[in-house]
Amino acid sequence: MNVVLDTNVLLVALPSRSVYHPIFTALLDKTFELFVTNEIISEYEEQLSYRLGISRTDLHLQELLHLSNVHKIESYYLWQLIEADKDDNKFVDCAVACNADYLVSNDGHYNILASIDFPKVNVIKAGAFLEILIRR
């Protein structure tokens, strides 16, 4: 299962006491394939460093990037499908490039994608993704 995680989902999945922590555990257990781009990694790093500090951020990113089920790819085409928050487009572009089964986000800006027929991007909330993981 190919997945792109929006930063907001990664942030809520990291804390061990979070209801969404099983998403991070499933990633570590190689239950799904995570796809990222340089731009996504940079956003992960920026947002994590605000919350965790630089040293803990580096540890988390090194752990993440050394997993065999985490794939760094290039998005060669910029679709620009989200006008409301252009920073979200990097996740959409990655999802299209890797033919993601799911782009997981709790961000309402992605709702516009439901009305776009091509390219089709399947966006689900973290809770729905957690249910999929539990059923596996």
Number of structural domains found in the chain: 1
The burial class, CB within 10 Å (0-12 / 13-18 / 19+), for 76 is exposed
CA geometry: angle 92, 51, 3, nearest 5 deg: 25
Look over the chain and give the mean of its residue pLDDT values, rounded to a whole number.
94
- The tens digit of pLDDT for each residue in 41-63 reads 999 999 999 998 888 899 889 99
Grade residue 72 by pLDDT with cuts at 50, 70 and 90.
very high
The range of the structural domain enclosing residue 35 comes to: 2-135
Cis-peptide into 119, omega within 30 deg: yes
Domain at 99, CATH number: 3.40.50.1010
**What is the average pLDDT across 19-35?**
98
The enclosing H or E element of 69 equals none
